Structure 1
């Protein structure tokens, strides 16, 4: 986070959204939290007596040793459920079987190659996890050891995560699209003792060379993985791979003969459950550390609140488990809540651009949770893939990963939700462990583009660069004033960076790194990362608002706004635009400038408009504005680019500049 982002203290909000969508009456009647009065009662209870509030919910976890104290908070150090012992795998499996869900479907899995489908009941999943956990124990892996997981989105990825949790090993899931150097870097930083991988995985019709990448990572000169003693390989695609004697073992050989009931290791509440690496704007990725009891309780509780989980729901979160969304809302949250989850291995446009709607028609999920960048892609691909598909099983839609432009929200609501499904626009981070702000679908009137209100236990504030609260309606830094159970406990092996990044700018409060504003109804609007604010002629403008104005034009499918140095104004507005229709010419640039002027005002009119076929994105779908800033300024790209999905996009954009 750049210190210069604090200049001026507040961010101008220049775009107002006035459309309001109340929750459907039928939904509210059946919802867990069915009125704003119920929400306010819960929120006030959590604010008035946080220890009592979380004690009542903490009791619901499977405790092997009771905790002696709910909360010990010495900023930035926090301990939840002090001295207690539990196990995240037991919360997801054993507890569900004990509650009578043994024969309930836990996982429905669909492979990218059409026709592939597998299901697991909770009892079957428990048996597979126990066999895998016993296999890890047989390799000598012990509580506290770090195990890297680099796998395709198959049921075995979830089994590997839960198997590690069962024996107290700390898992570090690495997205299956990352390079060998990214694997090597994360293995080295975490001091991993084992890697769980597969021969390959399917992505857009082609097998990914997962095992080959792991082999290359373990031979890396820059990040030697001297601590890795074991590589477990799942046979997925059948492609030939090299197996190193004494180090590598096939998954099926590891679990052969292992018992279907392996005991869950009693783990201290604050024992690390997993590390998940997020890339910084510069320097090496940060290993975000999450611990056992607080995380699993937060993931479970927020899944129940935000998605209004019911016993008969089939929940489809489209995220990969290489990201926090996949941890919290594919694996831990829904399973700890006893839900059924749908997992799809492949890309949304493989083998065709209607694949998601085909899956919804066939599998009939009731909840669909995806990213705004995917929604914008669906819009761009066209209605021909959606028309005629039966999406009537859906009762709730969600968005995650970045702010959603109001026009994309409206399209999602009308086309995918049939105007009947509430939308939960969720704001949270890898660091927060779970959702922090979101509508509750049975009670919160929604405004397109707003994450609305904080969940019970979340106490946000918007401050200026001096840490002082801003006026209502003004933009500023988003901070959290109180601890919550799912919060990160540190950056793996780097306490100094943890304090500097999250706790030093506004002492005693967690700095989220986002700008936000609060409207007259108390609703929160995320205005982009602190680093993404533009300072134009002394006015600090939100990139998200400029992008939303552009996307509201019918010719624009997607847009990204960044700043570049300007001799007079300080910063000029540069935008990169992907078209859904129209010709990329000077006439359209003039039309778009007039449109932004009309939507926002002269201050936000772009100086530069670049048309492009696609935007540089992370593998989780976020636009990499940092790279666009470099291109707009004519600078060489520096910093971490391992999360970039398609390097050819960068090359094309560079080519357009020359």
Structure 2
């Protein structure tokens, strides 16, 4: 029997008592005066308390006698490098780097930008900042100079920590020239840059400003320098994370120290069912929120082992890479994006690579980041023979809004749903007037205030924009900007971003529902549906499909079959008459499909190539495919 309903009701009856109990699993420098308070119009958790996130993620386990427990595993199929760090070794690396940063003048409250590839030093950098009470802002490694410059201007960092290069399949990306260009563009002047030299492309250092990572750590080590953990307020910022795809004035999501620790540690035990000492793998990047929450902080707060993976789900070297990692390191739970699984399914539809490895350690697969279509979930269930848990959350929340809480005992799985709201989230589906809609009806998914611990208290230096972006449309609620519905059992269904709900001749239709139908075609690996402008109906949907590997049929036949499927499963009201077979879809580096950009191409609107796009050349492919159908030309 699942304890979910009992746990959720306990939170609803006494939210402050619930979170105070959860906070008891962590160490605090000084206790809170109030578990929750509204301060200057903003939600604050554990007001008055002092703590340190690095202490709770690293030192606490060493002090408890678990220093020899494995903390971090690094595996890079691209370079062939592997490394392991115990909690003792992690403490040595982090406290030494923090001391070196202290020697460069970094203090509590200073901002530090981290511009790193997926190597262990990225984690060391984040934890070293947390140790000092400095506020880190991780920018995805290899981000274009103008985008990096806007973040420099907004965060105003004293220092930037980077590596000489990042390594992608088949190419080396030198980071230092990109950083130098960004610093030339930026109005804010950075005092120090610390560069971790990688042998694939060592960087030239500029005297006075640039410092060699190993050199400054060696100096600190030679003097026996190790930084202590600074006591910070629970309500002080731990980090700033700029949301992907922002242009102009960037939107910096702020994460606090106290509430963040409490919610993440609670989630590891109750959502992911991970115990101290077990191996947990979030196959993401530290540049994204999943990397912050579930590569770095949550596993270490729980005393588990985390994996830093420098590779891709396919092509490094084959679609069996994930299964090698699971088998080699005894992974208990894998968390990745549905896009990764669609890529694996496309290359290995029969699961031949899965059968090559011993996956007996793997208890659960978690999916998040984009809607997990039922076809992909069922494929994973059939191939892995384990529970596949879709869950839903956002950069702004930092952890799951809705999930099937494995640690509390799983609820029945409903394909297409990320299951039920987690404690802390009073989720309601509203109409345009802010009224709750009947169960089963599509609406705007919102969370009744206050938001739980770990959710953003505000945006960096911009309370007004925070209120306008998230709280103004539905007073008393946080607007998720996702659309969907709740069924009679309280299960949520996330159908699309509210921008992707299209209005066809007065009918509000979900592109996500259409994508689900297209994904059910036996030859289809991936889908995207967008609404394009239509003079008669306002908008009409257009579908894009990527075929599975080895499909040898005329594209025109598959396109016709896909249109017929929509008519059969949804009806003529959908008005989907065009489906286009394309070799690939434009995505961010985290795997999110850039539907808004595709829509602008189709509607011949001006747009700026998103900074987060994985390969800009795909946009020309989409433009050509649409033009061949007489759209957007």
Normalised-by-shorter TM-score class: over 0.9
8 Å CA contact retained: 1:342, 1:365: no
Structure 2 vs 1, CA of residues 484 and 499 (structure 1 numbering), >3 Å: closer, same or farther?
same
Structure 2 residue 505 is matched with structure 1 residue 559: no
Q: 2:579 aligns with which of 599, 609, 613?
A: 609
User: What is the distance in 1 between the residues matched to 2:595 and 2:246?
Assistant: 10
Matched, 1:121 2:86: yes
- Residue in structure 2 matched with residue 493 of structure 1 by the alignment: 461
- TM-score, scaled relative to structure 2: 0.94
1:315 maps to 2:280: yes
- What is the aligned partner in structure 2 of residue 20 from structure 1? none
Task: For 2:76 and 2:245, locate their aligned partners in 1 and report how far apart those are by CA, in whole Å.
Answer: 32
Query: Equivalent residue for 1:294?
Result: 259
User: Cα–Cα, structure 1 residues 153 and 170, in superposed 2: closer, same or farther, change >3 Å?
Assistant: same
Q: 1:235 to 1:203 in 2, by over 3 A?
A: same
Match of 1:452? 419
Structure 1 distance, partners of 2:621, 2:578, is 17
TM-superposed deviation, 1:282: 6.2
Q: 1:241: which partner in 2?
A: 203
Deviation at 1:126, TM superposition (A): 0.8
**1:579-598 deviation per Cα after TM superposition (whole angstroms, max 9, x unaligned):** 11244533322211111122
| Cα pair 1:398 1:426 within 8 Å, conserved | yes
Q: CA deviation at 1:116?
A: 1.6
**What is the match of residue 375 of structure 1?**
341
Q: 1:271 & 1:541 partners in 2: Cα distance?
A: 42
Equivalent in the alignment of 1:3: none
Tell me the secondary structure at the aligned position of residue 559 of structure 2.
helix
Is 1:254 the counterpart of 2:216 in the alignment?
yes
Corresponding residue of 1:14? none
* Distance in 1 (alpha carbons) for counterparts of 2:247 and 2:163: 31
Is the Cα contact below 8 Å between 2:563 and 2:578 reproduced in 1? Answer: no
What are the within-5 Å matches in structure 2 for residues 96-111 of structure 1? 96-111=61-76
- Among 78, 81, 84, which residue is 2:46 paired with? 81
Q: C-alpha deviations, 1:396-424, integer Å up to 9, x for none?
A: 11001011000000011111x2x2x2222
Q: Contact 1:233/1:248 (CA < 8 Å) preserved in 2?
A: yes
Q: Distance in 1 between matches of 2:524 and 2:531?
A: 20
Q: CA deviation at 1:208?
A: 1.9
Equivalent residue of 1:562, what SS?
A: strand
Asked if residue 357 in structure 1 is aligned to residue 323 in structure 2, the reply is yes
Number of the residue aligned with 1:56: 21
1:28 aligned residue: none
Cα RMSD over matched residues?
1.7
Question: Quick one: higher RCO (CA 8 Å, sep 6+), 1 or 2?
Answer: 1
Aligned twin of 1:644: 613
Taking the TM superposition and a 5 Å limit, the aligned residue runs for 1:31-70 are 35-36=1-2, 38-70=3-35
Residue equivalent to 2:517: 549
Structure 1 position 360, deviation (Å): 2.2
The counterpart of 1:224, out of the listed 187, 191, 195, is 187
Distance 1:194 1:645 in 2: 27
SS at match of 2:461: coil
Any conservation in 2 of the 1:128–1:260 contact (CA below 8 Å)?
Answer: no
The answer as to whether partners of 1:66 and 1:83 remain within 8 angstroms in 2 is yes
Segment drifting more, 85-94 vs 581-590: 581-590
Q: Deviations over 1:75-102 (max 9, x none)?
A: 9511111111001101101111222221
Q: Which of 416, 428, 434 is matched with 1:467 structurally?
A: 434
Q: Which stretch has the larger CA shift, 205-214 or 245-254? A: 205-214
Map 1:105-504 → 2, pairs under 5 A: 105-113=70-78, 115-220=80-185, 223-226=186-189, 228-258=190-220, 259=224, 261-279=226-244, 283-348=248-313, 349-382=315-348, 383-415=351-383, 417=384, 419=385, 421-441=386-406, 442-481=409-448, 482-504=450-472
Mapped to 1, the partners of 2:247 and 2:503 lie a distance apart of 21
Return closer, same or farther for 1:178/1:584 CA change in 2, 3 Å cut-off: farther
Query: Number of residue pairs matched?
Result: 616
How far has the Cα of 1:544 moved from its partner?
0.9
Once the two structures are TM-superposed, the CA of residue 359 in structure 1 deviates from its matched residue by 2.1
SS in 1 for 2:331: coil
Residue by residue, what CA displacement relative to the aligned partner does 1:37-85 show, whole Å, maximum 9, x if unpaired? Answer: x212211111111111111112322111111110003695111111110
Question: What is the distance in 1 between the residues matched to 2:67 and 2:36?
Answer: 33
Secondary structure at 2:420's aligned position in 1? coil
SS in 2 for 1:606: coil
2:80, 2:557 → 1: CA distance? 48
Query: Aligned residue for 1:16?
Result: none
Q: Distance in 2 between matches of 1:651 and 1:576?
A: 14
The answer to whether the 8 A contact 1:177-1:619 is kept is no
- Could you tell me whether the CA contact under 8 Å between 1:279 and 1:285 is conserved in 2? no
Query: C-alpha offsets along residues 180-236 of structure 1, whole Å, 9 cap, x if unaligned?
Result: 22211111111111110011122114222112211121112xx3342x111101122
Structure-1 separation of matches of 2:281 and 2:489: 31
Runs of 4+ in 1 over 4 A off after TM superposition: 280-283
Q: Which runs of 5+ in 2 are unaligned?
A: 628-632
Partner of 2:630: none
Q: Shift of residue 252 of structure 1?
A: 0.6
1:384 Cα offset (Å)? 4.1
- Give the gaps of 5 or more residues in structure 1: 1-34
Residue 114 of structure 1 and its aligned partner are, at CA, apart by: 5.5
Q: Do 1:368 and 1:397's aligned partners in 2 also have CA atoms closer than 8 Å? A: yes
Which residue in the other structure is 1:589 paired with? Answer: 559
Distance in 2, matches of 1:595 and 1:295, equals 45
Q: 1:284 to 1:642 in 2, by over 3 A?
A: farther
Alpha-carbon distance in structure 2 between the residues aligned to 1:273 and 1:282: 23
Cα distance, 1:633 vs structure 2: 1.8
Structure 2 partner of 1:11: none
Structure-1 separation of matches of 2:141 and 2:79? 20
Is 2:533 the counterpart of 1:533?
no
Between the aligned partners of 1:475 and 1:260, the Cα distance in structure 2 is 58
Preserved CA contact (<8 Å) 2:96 2:226: yes
Q: 1:260 to 1:137 in 2, by over 3 A?
A: closer
